[in-house]
Amino acid sequence: MLINNKSIAIIGGGPAGLTLARLLQLKNAEVKVYERDFNEHARVQGSPLDMHEDSGLAALRKAGLLEEFKKTFRPGADKTLIMDKQAKILFSDHETKPDEDFGAEHFRPEIDRGPLRKMLLESLQPETVVWDSHFISMESQNEGWLIHFKNGTSSYADLVIAADGARSRIRSYLTEIQPIYSGITMLEGIVSKEYAPNINTLINGGKIMAFGNSQNILMGQKGNGDLGFYASFKADENWAINSGLDFSDSKAIFQWFKTEYSDWNEIWHELFKNATTPFIPRPIYAMPLDQSWKTKPNITLMGDAAHVMPPFAGEGANMAMLDALELSEHLTDYHYKTLEEAISEYEIKMHKRAGKAIKESLENGERMHSDIALSTMLEFFNGHRLS
């Protein structure tokens, strides 16, 4: 096996990095995950993830974790309401969608990021994850890399795999290609269900997508009951800076919402008026569809580090976990004669499917922010049973 007696460093302990570590350890590989968080409890994990049958779930199945996932996912969290700006429900699958339908093409079970991370961490060998390891730089040494971290430590690896997200600092060691702004910005907030009782009753543990005036409100309920929500709209790339808004000032954000979403029903006010601050502006980026780079034998990229994409097709985490699955198979396939050959084949396949997913996400983003978004999305949901 090509990675026999090779030390592998995965930079980043998100779903992709941890999944890859699990899959490689099942093949007896020597692997460490270097994660910038101080420990597994250092950061509140973000919005829930929906797992797709041929990507995220396929990776978990290969990792031997599907049964554990079934104990941890949130039945019913993928149920959806499509609403207009007046909060009128125009589509609902709450009464028709099964809570559990594993193996079905369009079943997309949801899981909170925290429980997913915990499940993956517990599947790894002790001390696989090296916490408080904020990547700073690395330099060529022998046939691999000497990696330097912010805490003053350094570590050598024969192979470095970047799973350090959309702002990857390792990406520049392979390519200068940068993501491009999509034209859409999302303003993220969180509100306790007690302070948004009307919306909480409507969402009923699932998701809401509301459309009007080329604007969206997109939201889902977390495992603890909190409502995570986004105001999504077309804006200049530097909107967050040029707006002059203080995203820690709840009154200012509430006033902004009332002005910009002026003809939306007042039921939506309880989200913005009572949210926990700060709000987080998220300009949405995507990698070029045709990106590529010259393969190296001792470094590669996966997940958002390789192909950051808009969230409008739910493919980000799923593509990242499929990266983990495919990369693990290429690195442990006796068919390849060299690591460079194995990595090259992985990257070719990854670029092709990621480009397709990015294109789909960008097209969905345009549909969702058009002046006919509501009718388009209703036609889509009624014609294709997706979560």
Q: Write out pLDDT tens, residues 46-72.
A: 678 999 999 999 999 999 999 999 999
Integer Cα distance of 178 and 370 in angstroms: 26
Across residues 214-220, what is the average pLDDT?
A: 96
Q: Is 290 annotated as a binding residue?
A: no
Predicted local distance difference test score (pLDDT) of residue 42: 77
Across residues 152-164, what is the average pLDDT?
A: 98
Percent of the chain predicted with pLDDT > 90: 89
Query: Would you place residue 44 in the very low, low, confident or very high pLDDT band (cuts 50, 70, 90)?
Result: low
Predicted local distance difference test score (pLDDT) of residue 383: 79
For 182-212, give one letter per residue: b (16+ CB within 10 A) or e. Answer: bbbbbbbbbbebebbeebbebbebbbbbbbb
Q: Is 164 annotated as a binding residue?
A: no
For residue 386, is pLDDT > 50?
no
Rounded to the nearest 5°, which phi and psi values hold at 248? -95, -5
Integer Cα distance of 246 and 251 in angstroms: 10
For residue 12, is pLDDT > 50?
yes
CATH topology of domain 7-45+125-178+289-363: FAD/NAD(P)-binding domain (3.50.50)
Predicted local distance difference test score (pLDDT) of residue 69: 97
Domain edges within the chain:
7-45+125-178+289-363, 180-286
The Cβ of residue 338 has, within 10 Å, a number of other Cβ atoms equal to 10
Q: Is 113 annotated as a binding residue?
A: yes
* CATH code, residues 180-286: 3.30.9.30
* Averaged confidence pLDDT in the chain: 94
Q: Is 304 annotated as a binding residue?
A: yes
Across residues 109-123, what is the average pLDDT?
A: 94
Map the chain to HEC letters.
CCCCCCEEEEECCCHHHHHHHHHHHCCCCEEEEECCCCCCCCCCCCCCEECCCCCHHHHHHHCCCHHHHHHHCECCCCCEEEEECCCCEEEECCCCCCCCCCCCCCCCCEECHHHHHHHHHHCCCCCCEECCCCEEEEEEECCEEEEEECCCCEEEECEEEECCCCCCCCHHHCCCCCCEEEEEEEEEEEECHHHCHHHHHHHCCCEEEEEECCEEEEEEECCCCCEEEEEEEECCCCHHHHCCCCCCCHHHHHHHHHHHCCCCCHHHHHHHHCCEEEEEEEEEEECCCCCCCCCECCEEECCHHHHCCCCCCCCHHHHHHHHHHHHHHHHCCCCCCCHHHHHHHHHHHHHHHHHHHHHHHHHHHHHHCCCCHHHHHHHHHHHCCCC
For residue 79, is pLDDT > 50?
yes
Domain pair 7-45+125-178+289-363 / 180-286, same fold: no
For residue 162, is pLDDT > 80?
yes
Q: Write out pLDDT tens, residues 100-112.
A: 888 887 789 999 9
Q: Write out pLDDT tens, residues 236-267.
A: 999 999 999 999 999 999 999 999 999 999 99
Across residues 218-222, what is the average pLDDT?
A: 93
For residue 385, is pLDDT > 50?
no
